[in-house]
Amino acid sequence: MPSLFEPGGIVQHEFFIGSTPVIAFKTGGLKDTVKEYDPKTKKGNGFSFEDHKAGDLIYAIERAMNIYKSKEDMKQLRKNAFESVIDVSEVSRAWLKEMYRICGKSFIDPDMIRGHKKNIVKDWDPAKYKEGLTIRRLEQEAQDEQARLKGIKYQALYMKARGDAKKVTFNYQTTQLPRPKSVSVVGNFDDWKSLYPMHFDPLLNKWNLTLNLQPGEY
């Protein structure tokens, strides 16, 4: 295939499909797809020549004839040629990307979308959802902890003024999803003046808080 000009080249791929090595001039698509066979490395799928003259073409044909005499090399060369076939789907995908680029749009591979769709759970159950260690969650837990410490500070000041007191533990558990961001204790023990944030225990899956209060029912 000694074409002087070959922008892409289709015929050499038809050769490759038939396990046929190609003798080609180094131009355009032929230069990109036809690689000189090297008996030492066993790589390459054909033969090529640099100068578009009869002498160079004849020399390439002579190299091909020498390889043809070796059954082992010829078998490997034909195998390499067959494996050089370009998948048309890859070519079409490349053109599709170019069309998207020309239109100023982002190309998303359809195969990738189909792959993701297979992994999507259709019957998603929010009860099975477990929030990962996200920035939002860390910020929320930091705010909850600050609020809890603030409540303890006010509680200490309150109890200092109340005198004799005992520890009272409050527990709260719910199956509500998503779980509340915060739960607090409020009551007439301090005339409804403060909110005391409860602490969430992930192992017990419930909220709890212990306060020092005057003897009584709560």
| pLDDT tens across the length of the chain (218 residues) | 999 988 777 888 889 999 999 999 999 889 889 999 999 999 999 999 999 999 999 999 999 999 999 999 999 999 999 999 877 787 788 888 899 999 988 888 887 887 777 776 666 666 666 666 566 777 777 777 777 777 766 666 665 655 566 788 999 988 777 888 889 999 888 888 888 999 988 878 889 999 888 777 77
Q: What is the CATH number of domain 11-82?
A: 3.40.50.2000
Q: Are 134 and 171 in contact (CB under 8 A)?
A: no
Q: Which residues pair with 103 in a beta bridge?
A: none
Domain boundaries, given as residue ranges, for the chain: 11-82, 88-120, 135-213
| CA dihedral for 189, 195, 196, 199, sign (positive or negative) | positive
- The pLDDT of residue 163: 59
CA gap 193, 108 in Å, rounded: 57
- The pLDDT of residue 129: 62
Do 11-82 and 135-213 have matching folds? no
Question: What is the SS3 assignment for 85?
Answer: coil
- The pLDDT of residue 62: 96
Top-level class of domain 135-213: mainly beta
Distance of CA 102 to the CA centre of its chain: 26
Burial tier of 209 (Cβ tally within 10 Å: 0-12, 13-18, 19+): buried
**Parallel/antiparallel/unpaired status of strands 22-25 and 46-49:** parallel
